[in-house]
Structure formats: C-alpha cells, structure tokens
C-alpha cells in the first residue's frame, strides 16, 4: 500500500497510476474520508478534554447534578463520534488497499501485454533438420508421464513425471538452488500452507476483504489456512514487524516450495503438456534492501535468471512489461521468455518485479538508517529462479533429437550422473 501522506501530497501522480494500471480511481474518496477522519479525531480529542475537565470540577461543584448530566451528554457524543470514526477509518483502510503501486517512469504505458516491449534477445532459435516433436509427443513416446491415470486419480490440471524426465526436473531445481547459494542467497525450503493474511500482505489483491482471494487461492475448509501460490508469499512476511540493521541489507533469499493456484489459465489454453497446472514447484528469488538500492537489486535478480537461461542453452528474450500488464503491486517488471519450438513463439519462464515499499508497509518491515538513526521501510523485489515443469518444455523441445531423445545441457550433466542425453532408442 502507499503512504497516506504521499497520496495527499501527490494526488495527481496516484490518479495517473490508477489510470495507466487500469484500476479504479479512488483517490478523491480517500482524500474526502481522510479529511473527515482527521476532523473526527480532533473533535473527539476536544470533547474528551472537556469531559475530563468537568470530571475534575464535579467533586467541588455546588451543582453536581448539572455537571454530571453535562458529562453524560458529552460521553454520548464522544461515543457517537468514535463509532463514526471507526466506520470511516475502516472504509479508508479498505480504499488505501485499492490504490496500486506507482509504476516506474521507464515502464511502457499500455492497457495489457500487447504494449510490452522487447529489450533484449539472446540466442537464435534452432533450425531443425527434422520435424521437431512438441513436448507432449516427446513425453508420450518416452513414457515420461501418465496424464490419463493422474487425471483420473487427482483431477484435471495435475501432472506426474516419470523416470528420466522426473530426474531432470530434480536436476533443474537443484542446479538453480546451488547457483543462487553460490551467489550469496540463503536457501529456505518454505511451507505451502499459510494464513490468508500472509497472502494479503504480499499485496497481490485489492481491498481489505480477504474473501477477494477465493477465486484464485485454495482455502482449506474448516481451517484458518490456505495454500500459497509462490514462496514469495512466505518470504515476504519473514521479517514482519522487525526493524532490521542496515548493515544486514540486502537480505537475499532463495525460497523453494510447491505452489498451488486455483486459476489455471484461460479455458482451452495450455490444456496439453506441461505448461500450466494447479500445483507446480518453484524456486523464488527474494530480496529485502534499502529503497535506493532497488534498481541495482532488480538488475541482479534479472541477470540471475538470464544466466540460468544461458546455462540451460535456451534462446530467450527479456521483456519490459507495460503498466497494464505488470499487476497491482509492482513498480516495474521484466519477463524472461524462452523459445518454445512447438509454438514457434517465446513463452514466459519468469518475472522479475520491483515492489518498492508497497509490501513492507503491509508487513511493517523496516530498517534503521546508520547515519540518521531514522527508521524506514525496506524495499522488496522478487524474481523466479525456476518454475517446473514449465521450464522443462523449452529444454526438451530445443534439445531434442530425431529419435526422440533429448540432449542434456552441459551444466546439468553432473546432476544427471554424467549422462549426456535421455530418452529415445537407447
């Protein structure tokens, strides 16, 4: 959420953020309520002081009954004012949680992903000397999955990998975790079960009513828990309510968890293969830092994912996401998209996001400035490390051979027992 003082002093900037991010403009309502809330606080403070003065006068007054009656009348007025104040504050809080983060000036302006801008392309899509197979054919011919059985057992949008591809999935995750650890990230294996408030604190949903999450989040019936859609949710709240030491910043985490999402894509899209499921595994990069270091940390996170694409020998591109595509809580966002031969297109494998102090205000995560002693909110950032099984799709499609085997990228071979390929007729 944004600071109320900032909204008061920069109403036009906030209104513009609502416009370019395609969210309802509630700024005027906020300013009007803010005036009334501050007015009511002054009124109740004045009346309380008056009531206290009367209370002190009662013991020595000649007409005690009149003062008692006056005190009672003021008490009733205060109670009514306090009731209105509580109601207005609740509405104000809800409206404040409906204001999106201010996008960075560098973000392309646009209503959706059609306004995204490609800023870098690395590698060249492979020219095959045979007709390449789509992912699902490679999976079928090599016995790497059992979609019908798992759908019957577990329902649709679930998956199960078998044999060598399951090994490759583990190798991919392990490689990324080890790479991030070597870069100074602290590895954390995160739970997937959490409280709805934790998801709310990450700032992905508007308003203060937690029921707004029901369409996207798996709630655990008859409990106060739900399933998290990313390790970011847990990592974001790790330092809730703390005042961190400036010398400890930046704090860099590599979180791993199974991820659960009720929304599994538009109807009819990504129904074949390994692109979109209700449950998947993800390694998440997450950073707490000083606000002035946010841009450099963004580049660090983005470069990490680009290096991983290089390590997996994948053609990819980097996208600057438009204001209408970056979501509610982001300052700026870059997607990293790998080449999917079966679709003759680039598809997103990770999103690097700067959140500013938006999440930290919800979690009350701050640090103490060494020079001034001032306590300030930290900035937070996140980026995918790797998400599987989606990341397996460009790996097996780009590295396939005519016989259906798949060459293992060199960096992954040590984690595959030295094997150079899997599948095919061997």
Any idea what the CATH number is for the domain that residue 356 is in? Answer: 3.30.930.10
Q: What is the pLDDT of residue 269?
A: 55
- Among all chains, which residue has been given the structure tokens 């809330």? 37
Q: What is the pLDDT of residue 208?
A: 75
Alpha-carbon distance 146 to 143, whole Å?
A: 7
Alpha-carbon distance 155 to 148, whole Å?
A: 9
Q: Does residue 160 lie within any of the structural domains? A: yes
Q: Does residue 107 lie within any of the structural domains? A: no
Q: Are residues 218 and 294 in the same domain?
A: yes
Q: Are residues 227 and 269 in the same domain?
A: yes
User: Of the candidates 96, 129, 162, which is a domain's last residue?
Assistant: 96
Tell me how far the alpha carbon of residue 322 is from its chain's centroid: 17
Q: Does residue 385 lie within any of the structural domains? A: yes
Q: What is the pLDDT of residue 262?
A: 87
User: Of the candidates 64, 96, 128, which is a domain's last residue?
Assistant: 96
CA distances from 26 to 83, 93, 173, 206, 207 (A): 23, 12, 43, 12, 11
Alpha-carbon distance 25 to 309, whole Å?
A: 39
Per the DSSP assignment, residues forming a β-bridge with 354 are: 332, 381
Q: Are residues 90 and 146 in the same domain?
A: no
Q: Are residues 315 and 179 in the same domain?
A: yes
- Among all chains, which residue has been given the structure tokens 């989040």? 217
The structural domain count of the chain equals 2
Active site residues: 261, 276, 348, 351, 390
Q: Does residue 218 lie within any of the structural domains? A: yes
Q: What is the pLDDT of residue 211?
A: 81
Q: What is the pLDDT of residue 357?
A: 97
Q: Does residue 105 lie within any of the structural domains? A: no
Q: What is the pLDDT of residue 264?
A: 53
Instruction: Write the DSSP symbol of residue 160.
Output: -
Alpha-carbon distance 341 to 273, whole Å?
A: 13
Query: What string of pLDDT tens digits covers the 426 residues of the chain?
Result: 899 999 999 999 999 999 999 999 999 999 999 999 999 999 999 999 999 998 898 888 888 888 889 999 999 999 999 999 999 999 999 999 999 999 999 999 999 999 999 999 999 999 999 999 999 999 999 999 998 999 899 988 889 999 999 999 999 999 999 999 999 999 999 999 999 999 999 998 887 778 888 888 999 999 999 999 999 999 999 999 999 999 999 999 999 999 999 875 544 555 678 888 899 999 999 999 999 999 999 999 999 999 999 999 999 999 999 999 999 999 999 999 999 999 999 999 999 999 999 999 999 999 999 999 999 999 999 999 999 999 999 999 999 999 999 999 999 999 999 999 999 865
User: Which strands, in side-by-side order, build the sheet including 375-377?
Assistant: 243-245, 366-368, 375-377
Q: Which residues contact 234 (CB under 8 A, 6 or more apart)?
A: 188, 190, 191, 194, 198, 228, 255, 257
Q: Are residues 35 and 73 in the same domain?
A: yes
Q: What is the pLDDT of residue 64?
A: 84
Q: What is the pLDDT of residue 1?
A: 85
Q: Are residues 371 and 246 in the same domain?
A: yes
Q: SS3 of 3, please?
A: coil
What is the number of other CB atoms lying within 10 angstroms of the CB of residue 62? 6
Task: Give the domain extent around 310.
Answer: 113-422
CA distances from 392 to 28, 135, 380, 397, 420 (A): 48, 9, 29, 8, 16
Q: What is the pLDDT of residue 282?
A: 97
Q: Are residues 141 and 217 in the same domain?
A: yes
Q: What is the pLDDT of residue 270?
A: 56
């Amino acid at each position: 959420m944004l600071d109320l003082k900032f909204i008061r002093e920069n109403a036009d900037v906030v209104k513009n953020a609502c416009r370019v991010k395609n969210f309802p403009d509630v700024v005027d309502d906020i300013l009007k309520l803010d005036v009334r809330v501050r007015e009511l606080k002054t009124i109740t403070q004045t009346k309380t002081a008056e009531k206290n003065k009367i209370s002190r006068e009662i013991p020595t007054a000649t007409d005690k009954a009149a003062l008692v009656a006056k005190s009672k009348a003021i008490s009733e007025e205060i109670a009514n004012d306090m009731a209105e104040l509580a109601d207005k504050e609740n509405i104000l809080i809800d409206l404040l949680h409906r204001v999106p983060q201010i996008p960075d000036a560098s973000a392309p302006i646009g209503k959706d992903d059609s306004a995204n801008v490609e800023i870098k392309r690395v590698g060249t899509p492979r020219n095959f000397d045979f007709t390449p197979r789509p992912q699902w054919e490679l999976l079928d011919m090599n016995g790497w999955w059992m979609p019908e059985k798992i759908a019957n057992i577990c329902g649709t949008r679930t998956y199960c990998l078998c044999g060598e591809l399951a090994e490759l999935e583990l190798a991919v995750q392990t490689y990324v975790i080890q790479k991030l650890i070597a870069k100074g990230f602290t590895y954390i294996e995160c739970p997937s079960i959490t409280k709805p408030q934790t998801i709310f604190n990450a700032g992905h949903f508007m308003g203060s009513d937690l029921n707004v999450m029901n369409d996207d989040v798996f709630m655990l019936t008859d409990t106060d828990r739900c399933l998290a859609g990313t390790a970011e949710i847990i990592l974001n709240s790790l330092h809730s309510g703390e005042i961190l030491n400036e010398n400890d910043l930046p704090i860099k985490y590599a979180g791993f968890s199974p991820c659960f999402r009720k929304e599994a894509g538009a109807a009819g899209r990504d129904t074949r293969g390994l692109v979109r499921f209700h449950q998947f595994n993800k390694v998440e990069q997450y950073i707490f830092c000083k606000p002035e270091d946010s841009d450099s940390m963004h580049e660090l996170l983005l470069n990490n994912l680009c290096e991983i694409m290089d390590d997996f020998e994948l053609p990819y591109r980097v996208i600057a996401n438009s204001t209408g595509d970056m979501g509610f809580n982001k300052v700026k966002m870059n997607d990293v998209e790998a080449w999917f031969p079966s679709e003759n297109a680039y598809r997103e494998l990770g999103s690097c996001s700067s959140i500013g102090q938006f999440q930290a205000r919800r979690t009350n995560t701050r640090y103490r400035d060494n020079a001034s002693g001032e306590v300030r909110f930290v900035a937070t950032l996140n980026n995918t490390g790797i998400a599987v099984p989606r990341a397996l799709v460009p790996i097996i499609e780009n590295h396939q051979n005519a016989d259906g085997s798949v060459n293992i990228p060199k960096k992954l071979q040590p984690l595959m027992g030295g094997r150079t390929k899997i599948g095919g007729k061997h």
